[in-house]
Structure 1
Amino acid sequence: MKSLRFEKLELLSTIEKRAKTVEFHPRLTVINGENDVGKSSVIKSLYWAFGASTKTHPSWKRAKVKALVTFTVDGNRHFIVRDGSRIALFDKDSKVMLSTTSITSELGPAFAELMNFRLILTDKNGSSGTPPPAFALLPFYIDQDNGWGQTLESFDNIQQYPGVRRSVVEFHSGIRSNKFYELTAEKRKAMIERDEVGRDKKAVENAIAKLGLEPDFTGLELSRVEHEASVEQLLVRFRTLRDARQRRAAELTVLVDERSIVREQMEIATAAAKEFDEDFRWASKVDDSEIMCPTCGTVHQNNFANKFAIVDDSEACSDFVSDCLDRMRVIASKAKVIENSMRETDHTTEEISRILAHKRGDLTLEDVIKAESRRSARAMLDAQVFELSEQMASIAGDIAAADDQLKEFEKGSRKRKKEIEAFYAAEMLSFLKALAVQNIDHDSVTKIDRKINDTGSDLPRAVLSYHLALMRTIFKFSTALTAPMVIDSPNQQDQDAGNVAAMISLIVESRPWDGQTILGTVSLHDQEIVDGKVITFHEKGAVLAADKYDSVAARFRPFLDQMT
């Protein structure tokens, strides 16, 4: 698992002739100061350097601030520089590795390789690939402007990928590891290759049809042997197509039966999920600590563990229904392919029957020469079709193998998923209790991929609880990467002094032993900082300083010289 740490942030405005350097403690850095001293602008610049944009103050944009971040990955130092839309990645010797203006197609894959970030997402256009760095950093940042209204929404433009929340959470929490997404990427690559070969094969087949090179029987064979061979070729193809159609019809029958079975299973699971939901609501309303089963007389504890077990059973039913829907879609897709194939087979069979019934007319030498040319062309194109068909069969085998591995992975990960979700739920409930968040839907907040449904001053405390619980889950179970937990301005929605103090205390105390935390806040509310440091900004509207400009500009120069 890769570990990202921030060492230093350097900021430079050549327009204002001002600069700033911030050095981060390996465990905890608190950026302290009154409102309007630039705390948030500095923190946002950390992520802006990596191509992860947030809402930025207009004055910061006008200053055209450049950013240089010194960071480590597993202790190995790297640098990233952003100047406007151009971003460059440098190695430990300050040599450029990549300079680009394309965050998604170029910076994203390079950062993913550096951080062992193998997540694959599909955008609104149906294109799949490695997402930008923002999605590697998303669980670890709560932005002052966008981050406190809902979890996992600190960065701009994350909705370019539909359903991104579940994918990001499952990847980072360890529910689905890098191996799953590596297999997914292999399958995607094979499917793209299959489609390309399929298009080539279709183009050759279209050429055969357009040029009139289908197997013919019109008496133009140059010898009796060739004449008989032509007829036999057509008959063999006719029988092959007939047999193939029968097999496809049998396959379609099997799919129809399978669809009926899956639909019946889905109806049973839906009814069971509804019953579990009713059990949970009833258990939540009952105040008794013990409940007696009316059927067998067994006494059950009405505690969180048993309530969570009911929710877990309900979620298992819901997951099964979701799997059934996926299976129904696959069945429908397969049935469509078979039906299209049968229609094509019927059309070709009819054409062969017509050719076999065709009567010869008077022949000329020109007809004979044309027929021989067509046979030669057909033989060449047939060879191409055969070769492309062989390639498609080989690729289809690779796709099937990847599918089998993905299915095995899913089966093997169910137990691990329950363990991860149970750990997260326990952490989340503990943090909610510590922050006095009481009136909240426990069914939602104990599910790791759910949104927070709350309002008022409870919402920021619930959001913080979620991010800290997810962070601790990532550090315990993830096999991919960890990053600094950066939290900007926790005092949201007019929290009272006691709530803000509890939030800051929880941020400090919940840190993993091998994690790094960066906190931006107006006040520490008497929280003592141990194993960390406090950086205080004083001057309002002037976080960049003129007296730092020359030294920081000299620091930037060798990096900027390599960016083209």
Structure 2
Amino acid sequence: MKTWKLREMLVVSPVQRAARRLKFDPELTIIRGKNDTGKSSLIKTIFNTFGARPARISDRWKALNVTSLVRFSVGTKNYCILRAGDLFGVFDDEARPLHRAASVGELSPYLAQLFDFKLKLPDRATGKPVVPPPAFYFLPFYIDQDAGWTATWSSFANLQQFPGAKKDLAEYHVGIFPNEYYQRKAAKAEFQQKLEEPRVKERVLRGLQADIEQRTKETTIEFDIKEFKLIIDRLLKRAESLKQREDEYRTNIVELRNRLDEVSAQRAIVERTRDELRLDYNYANAAPDEVQCPTCGAGYSNHISERFEFANNEQQCVDLLTGLVNKAAKLEREISTTQERLTQSTAELREVEELLEARKGEVTLGELIESEGRKGFRKALEADASIVQKQIGELEATVRGHDEEMKKFASKERRQAIIDNYRHRMEHHLMLLNVNSNHSTLLKRIDAKVNETGSDLPRSILAYTMSIWGVMSKYGSSEAFAPTAIDAINQQEQDDQNLVKMLTLIRDHRPQGTQLVMGVVDTKDVEFPGTEVRMTKTYSALLASEFQSVNDELSPYLNALIASPQF
């Protein structure tokens, strides 16, 4: 298994003009502080930077409008990821850009490839298998302060996009099926989706064939011609409706592009202003404290406050640029969506027009060769049905092939070994945490809900999480074991004895070689290896004293991110 590690996080708030540099120990980083000192906000920001939004983020933290950059390593390679609003940028160790995304959806496939996360889940709207957002990769690795201590697999927001995915997630992460199984399963689902269209066509064709047979017995050619005329009238009305919709889409695209041009023009102005302010700042910074007018010889003060104002205005330009880039990205997505709808509408209109022409031809043919009745139409339907049946047969054969491949990766022995390993760990951890395991639902299934209450609930959640980590480290499907995080362990007013047991379990039983970030108020004299970060001031997770240095270090990445739509 290939472990990846957090190295450092930079967080900057232009609103508060404060920042924080947080270095991570490769083994364990404890963020210690009293309530409201910002421990949880910093831990949440780690995952949020990767596009995995925690279940809750405080309004106070949201108001800071932070930009964050996380440096990390996967195997022997170093990377960093930047988040500014809804924009994401991934860079290599030399700060060279690798990937840019204007949404979590655009970021997900890249991170899935980087972290060897091959699971695909059926989209709620379309049923099509898609790469789930990063939250589904990080789910087992994080116990969130606000949501993670009440239920398993619940530390992130927007998980309802894939209802009923908990079983697939649990089985994937613990390795009941390897990555290859899920790749085949996704491919099978894609071909099953492709089967829907020809199957619908086959049902329609069979219905038409049955209808033609019935009408041939019951009606005359004269009635048949009238029926064709009615069909043609309906097709004409449908074509007219599609043309109107097509015109609306074209108008919308023109309006959206005009708005995009306006945003681009605003962006160019702001970029020019930022560059001019930077030149002014550099000139003022290099000039002496007393500047003499070359014309009249009068002396003027080059005070630090004037230079600070230049720097402050430049930062405002950068903030405005970030907003404009986000707005431009949103407009581009709207244009793309509208263009897709226009393309679909145009294709549908073309099909209607072709069918209309064919129908007109059929009416003329029917009038000319009444003696043949509907023979030609029946033959055409039979030919179409034959083509569709061939398509269905080929697709079904492909689906069966993927089924056979899936069976090769589905080992009953492996499943049983993983379940046994999980139950052994779970029983042991529940015993160490003083939780009665006789009636625990967590022993029955890997994806079970927790039925404990009161102070037993968070201890059961911890026992479950540590058991899952242990199984994943031995059998997990993904080769990349992510950094883990546990926040605010003292839930439901644990007594000192149980709290010490929880802290000791974390210290002694987490998988070897993995990384942990933990937010605590007090470690109860349980000694931990690694690094400790002290948070001392209420509502001061970010520090004014670190703003300039952190902002200067982060700015080149941000400038690269907003400089152009593509890296």
Determine if the TM-score, normalized by the shorter chain, exceeds 0.5: yes
The residue that corresponds to 1:520 in the other structure is 519
Contact 2:5-2:515 at 8 Å conserved across structures: yes
Moved more, 198-207 or 132-141: 198-207
Distance 1:447 1:192, change over 3 A: closer
Q: Deviations over 1:10-56 (max 9, x none)?
A: 11111111111111111111111121111100000011112222211
- How far apart, in 2, do the equivalents of 1:189 and 1:436 lie? 47
AA matched with 1:503: M
Q: How far is 1:373 from its partner?
A: 13
Q: Deviations over 1:467-508 (max 9, x none)?
A: 011101100111313111210111111112222222112111
How many residues are matched? 416
The residue that corresponds to 1:24 in the other structure is 24
Structure 1 position 133 matched with structure 2 position 171: no
Residues 367-382 of structure 1 mapped to structure 2, 5 A cutoff:
368=368
AA matched with 1:140: F
- How far apart, in 2, do the equivalents of 1:171 and 1:66 lie? 32
The residue that corresponds to 1:396 in the other structure is 396
| Paired residue secondary structure (2:72) | strand
| Paired residue secondary structure (1:10) | strand
Q: Deviations over 1:146-179 (max 9, x none)?
A: 1111222111222332222221111101112212
Distance 1:449 1:202, change over 3 A: closer
The residue that corresponds to 2:155 in the other structure is 154
Contact 2:11-2:67 at 8 Å conserved across structures: yes
- How far apart, in 1, do the equivalents of 2:552 and 2:445 lie? 50
The residue that corresponds to 2:49 in the other structure is 49
Q: How far is 1:106 from its partner?
A: 2.2
Moved more, 91-100 or 79-88: 91-100
Q: How far is 1:552 from its partner?
A: 1.7
Q: How far is 1:426 from its partner?
A: 1.3
The residue that corresponds to 1:122 in the other structure is 122
- How far apart, in 1, do the equivalents of 2:379 and 2:150 lie? 67
The residue that corresponds to 1:486 in the other structure is 485
Contact 2:431-2:437 at 8 Å conserved across structures: no
Q: How far is 1:113 from its partner?
A: 1.5
| Paired residue secondary structure (1:490) | coil
Distance 1:6 1:379, change over 3 A: same
AA matched with 2:189: R
AA matched with 2:10: E
The residue that corresponds to 2:445 in the other structure is 447
Q: Deviations over 1:291-315 (max 9, x none)?
A: xxxxxxxxxxxxxxxxxxxxxxxxx
* Gap regions ≥5 residues in structure 1: 221-363
Q: How far is 1:102 from its partner?
A: 3.1
The residue that corresponds to 1:507 in the other structure is 506
- How far apart, in 2, do the equivalents of 1:384 and 1:121 lie? 34
- How far apart, in 2, do the equivalents of 1:191 and 1:463 lie? 38
Q: How far is 1:78 from its partner?
A: 2.0
| Paired residue secondary structure (1:156) | coil
Contact 1:3-1:73 at 8 Å conserved across structures: yes
The residue that corresponds to 1:425 in the other structure is 423
- How far apart, in 1, do the equivalents of 2:46 and 2:396 lie? 45
Distance 1:366 1:62, change over 3 A: closer
- How far apart, in 2, do the equivalents of 1:209 and 1:415 lie? 51
Q: How far is 1:139 from its partner?
A: 0.6
Distance 1:395 1:154, change over 3 A: same
AA matched with 2:517: I
Residues 159-558 of structure 1 mapped to structure 2, 5 A cutoff:
159-198=160-199, 368=368, 386-410=386-410, 413-438=411-436, 441-442=439-440, 444-445=442-443, 447-480=445-478, 481-530=480-529, 532-558=530-556
Distance 1:525 1:398, change over 3 A: same
Contact 2:442-2:464 at 8 Å conserved across structures: no
| Paired residue secondary structure (2:493) | coil
The residue that corresponds to 1:94 in the other structure is 95
Task: Give the share of equivalent positions with the same residue, in percent.
Answer: 33
Contact 1:468-1:510 at 8 Å conserved across structures: yes
* Gap regions ≥5 residues in structure 2: 222-363
- How far apart, in 2, do the equivalents of 1:422 and 1:48 lie? 34
Distance 1:383 1:153, change over 3 A: same
Contact 2:120-2:186 at 8 Å conserved across structures: yes
Q: How far is 1:529 from its partner?
A: 2.5
AA matched with 1:80: I
- How far apart, in 1, do the equivalents of 2:470 and 2:554 lie? 36
| Paired residue secondary structure (1:80) | strand
- How far apart, in 2, do the equivalents of 1:102 and 1:381 lie? 46
AA matched with 2:117: F
The residue that corresponds to 1:113 in the other structure is 113
AA matched with 2:53: S
- How far apart, in 1, do the equivalents of 2:200 and 2:79 lie? 43
Moved more, 105-114 or 25-34: 105-114
Distance 1:372 1:106, change over 3 A: farther
Distance 1:373 1:14, change over 3 A: farther
| Paired residue secondary structure (1:60) | helix
Q: How far is 1:118 from its partner?
A: 1.6
AA matched with 1:82: R
Contact 1:69-1:79 at 8 Å conserved across structures: yes
Q: How far is 1:377 from its partner?
A: 8.6
AA matched with 1:100: A
The residue that corresponds to 1:560 in the other structure is 558
| Paired residue secondary structure (1:487) | strand
AA matched with 2:4: L
Contact 2:216-2:374 at 8 Å conserved across structures: no
Q: Deviations over 1:234-257 (max 9, x none)?
A: xxxxxxxxxxxxxxxxxxxxxxxx
- How far apart, in 2, do the equivalents of 1:210 and 1:57 lie? 63
Q: How far is 1:382 from its partner?
A: 6.3
Structure 1 position 142 matched with structure 2 position 140: no
| Paired residue secondary structure (2:557) | helix
| Paired residue secondary structure (2:181) | helix
- How far apart, in 2, do the equivalents of 1:551 and 1:211 lie? 80
- How far apart, in 2, do the equivalents of 1:165 and 1:36 lie? 32
Contact 2:440-2:452 at 8 Å conserved across structures: no
TM-score (ref. length: structure 2): 0.66
- How far apart, in 2, do the equivalents of 1:440 and 1:44 lie? 35
Q: How far is 1:516 from its partner?
A: 0.8
Q: Deviations over 1:349-374 (max 9, x none)?
A: xxxxxxxxxxxxxxx99955788999
Across the aligned residues of Structure 1 and Structure 2, the Cα RMSD in angstroms comes to 3.2
Contact 1:49-1:80 at 8 Å conserved across structures: yes
TM-score (ref. length: structure 1): 0.67
- How far apart, in 1, do the equivalents of 2:421 and 2:414 lie? 11
Contact 1:424-1:446 at 8 Å conserved across structures: no
Q: How far is 1:211 from its partner?
A: 11
Contact 2:40-2:487 at 8 Å conserved across structures: yes
Distance 1:440 1:23, change over 3 A: farther
| Paired residue secondary structure (2:148) | coil
Contact 2:177-2:477 at 8 Å conserved across structures: no
- How far apart, in 2, do the equivalents of 1:61 and 1:366 lie? 70
- How far apart, in 2, do the equivalents of 1:434 and 1:514 lie? 22
